Structure 1
Amino acid sequence: MPRRSWIGILCFWPGLAQIWTGQEVLGLLLASLFGVTLNMAIVARWVWTEAFGVGWADFLFAFAALTWSASFAYTVWWVWLCHPDRHRREIDRLFHEAMEEYLQGRWNESRKRIERILAMDDSDADALMQLGTILVRTQQFGPARRAFRQCLEQDGGSKWRWEVETALARLDRP
């Protein structure tokens, strides 16, 4: 099942889709807000009815529904407009242009294209590997190490493991 479909399924519980896509803080806030309001509404309606004034249970249920609706709408919007799969054709075009620029020795132009790719999909292991290579060429060793390590952390980074470890070993030598 494609990643985009999983995100669509996860959007039915506020915060799960955001946590799964790397937006942990937003996801935890949404999940906490929804969970607290839903639990309080249930307690106010059926468990501890005398503790809350008239109308509080309805207000809390409405607030929980509003939280759920807002989270659902945001997730659907993000999957529809912002998900990296939607930009795949543009990412592929930019990657080919970046490779051409790199092979012609225009490393700064290549880096700009790679950074545009990473703005659209910060988990693109191929772009991170290329960024690390460009940064080594331009003698920016600290950022190169970070790019290589981030490449290894991504799902597709395992195919670059040998190259990244070799590059990091070279960078760590005096």
Structure 2
Amino acid sequence: MNTYKGKMKILALSGSLREKSYNKAALEALSLVAPEGVDVSVFDGIRDLPLFNPDLEDERVLPVAILKDALGVADGLVIASPEYAHGISGVLKNALDWLVSGEEFVGMPIMLINTSPRATHAQEALREVVVTMSGIIVERACFSIPLLGSSLDATGILNNAELHALLKLHLRTFCEGIQACRVSQSQPE
């Protein structure tokens, strides 16, 4: 986790490869409402990750190294995943599997976004994976944003006053959660 004073860096992962993904749109909108001093970077390299293979973990697989490096300098991680067959998407699970053996994820503050409030199974599965990997879910920052069937892209989300306010509120809450994690992690045991 980034411990320097300065700009707060947040990495955002979409579990969808769709061109007009609501998950990606929500993350892009989130990056656009970030206040000064907060950088939300949507990671597009998830599509380049090879299928997880533990035999390759000791090798420097470039797309994996890029993901680990991005997470290594991040103060927090935002994940938005669609629900496929009552679970998280394969592409997101693959990305998380690549992060299991590294230290980048351990103790990382996590914010979960659900773009289809009726899709609860993926969120439950994602919570299980994140906690198992020793991520810290900032519960107050996690939220559902009703985008399914809306046809909204990032601009449309920002032009909707209610959705815009929802993103800003939860991002501010997540930043507060990241700060609380920093304080907690710096306390001697």
TM-score, length of structure 2 as denominator length: 0.28
Larger radius of gyration: 1
Greater share of strand: 2
